[in-house]
């Protein structure tokens, strides 16, 4: 399901969710990282020892909820925007969801924005409680959103002021620095599949092997050709599906 739609299932979410007891105690990270990609800034970012060091850089991060204080440092360091901080202890009826955000313009404190679920569906209009800049070198903002308590594990994105469109220079493939504009330009020339686009601009040929850009390109193709994302022809997956040390092939490791 995740490979086909880019949306994690309820079962996927269960594997990264804290117990109800931990959830109501206070802020805690939710690491929604489901693809084995060569990436580990989250493990380096956590000074509480809550995210275990990885033996293999392709491993999925493992979080000890009881050691996590919800500081949010990992959220702003995750290039995959896969980490959220939730605080179900905020008030009797409301919770805070902290969401990584890299679009422009950045919402303002007090502004009402549309809260979205993991599939991009609207869940309601929610107030921005706080906006945290990632600092001079880090363009990831953290948006603190006040949401009804029962939506704390559902709200995972925001949209400002109705329909917005990503800027042309938005990066679609982070490994190869491919922009949305480059992808759109190929689609407008008649390219119809992810494979065709990959062969021309290398989107999906970097270390993560398309785990991020594949679904973003599929969404663009679906939009232009008026078909469901699930109907976009997926590329063929060939071994090795994740980076492997040459020593493994040589039988040495
Ligand atoms: S929120 Fe803070 S304590 Fe929790 S995992 Fe992230 S960096 Fe570690
Ligand atoms: S994408 Fe984010 S959560 Fe996943 S391994 Fe990289 S830094 Fe950690």
Ligand (nearest to CA of 46): 1
- Pick from 180, 208, 207: which is nearest to 197 by CA? 180
Ligand 2 neighbourhood includes 42 CB (under 6 angstroms): yes
Q: Is the separation of the CB atoms in 242 and 209 below 8 Å?
A: yes
Ligand 1 neighbourhood includes 69 CB (under 6 angstroms): yes
Residue whose CA lies nearest to ligand 2 atom number 4: 33
pLDDT of 209: 83
Ligand 1 neighbourhood includes 175 CB (under 6 angstroms): no
Model pLDDT for residues 113-128, shown as the tens digit of each residue: 999 999 999 999 999 9
Atom number of ligand 1 nearest to Cα 63:
5
**Domains of the chain from N-terminus onward:** 2-159 (no CATH), 171-231 (1.10.10)
How remote is the C-alpha of 226 from its chain's centroid? 25
- Pick from 6, 20, 36, 161: which is nearest to 86 by CA? 20
Burial label for 171, CB within 10 Å (0-12, 13-18, 19+), is middle
pLDDT of 252: 63
Ligand (nearest to CA of 140): 2
Split at pLDDT 50, 70, 90, the class of 244 is confident
Residue whose CA lies nearest to ligand 1 atom number 6: 74
Q: Which stretch of 75-84, 148-157, 161-170, 225-234 has the lowest confidence by average pLDDT?
A: 161-170
Model pLDDT for residues 92-147, shown as the tens digit of each residue: 999 999 999 988 889 999 999 999 999 999 999 999 999 999 887 888 999 999 99
Cα(155)–Cα(116) distance, integer angstroms: 6
Ligand 1 neighbourhood includes 70 CB (under 6 angstroms): yes
pLDDT of 253: 59
Ligand (nearest to CA of 27): 1
């Amino acid at each position: 399901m995740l490979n086909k739609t880019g949306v994690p299932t309820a079962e996927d979410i269960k594997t990264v969710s804290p117990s109800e007891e931990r959830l109501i105690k206070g802020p805690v990270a939710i690491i929604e990282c489901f693809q084995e990609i060569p990436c580990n800034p989250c493990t380096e970012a956590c000074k509480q020892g809550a995210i275990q060091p990885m033996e293999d850089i392709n491993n999925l991060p493992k979080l000890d909820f009881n050691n996590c204080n919800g500081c949010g440092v990992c959220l702003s360091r995750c290039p995959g925007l896969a980490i959220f901080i939730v605080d179900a202890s905020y008030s009797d009826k409301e919770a805070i969801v902290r969401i990584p955000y890299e679009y422009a313009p950045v919402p303002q404190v007090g502004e009402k924005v549309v809260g979205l679920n993991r599939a991009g569906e609207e869940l309601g209009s929610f107030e921005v409680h706080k906006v945290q800049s990632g600092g001079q070198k880090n363009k990831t903002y953290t948006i603190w959103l006040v949401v009804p308590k029962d939506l704390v594990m559902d709200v995972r994105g925001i949209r400002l002021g109705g329909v917005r469109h990503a800027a042309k220079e938005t990066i679609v493939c982070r490994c190869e620095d491919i922009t949305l504009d480059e992808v759109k330009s190929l689609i407008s020339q008649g390219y119809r599949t992810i494979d065709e686009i990959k062969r021309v601009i290398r989107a999906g040929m970097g270390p993560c092997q398309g785990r991020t850009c594949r679904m973003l390109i599929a969404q663009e193709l679906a939009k232009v050709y008026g078909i469901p994302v699930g109907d976009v022809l997926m590329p063929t997956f060939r071994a090795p599906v994740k980076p492997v040390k040459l020593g493994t092939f040589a039988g040495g490791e």
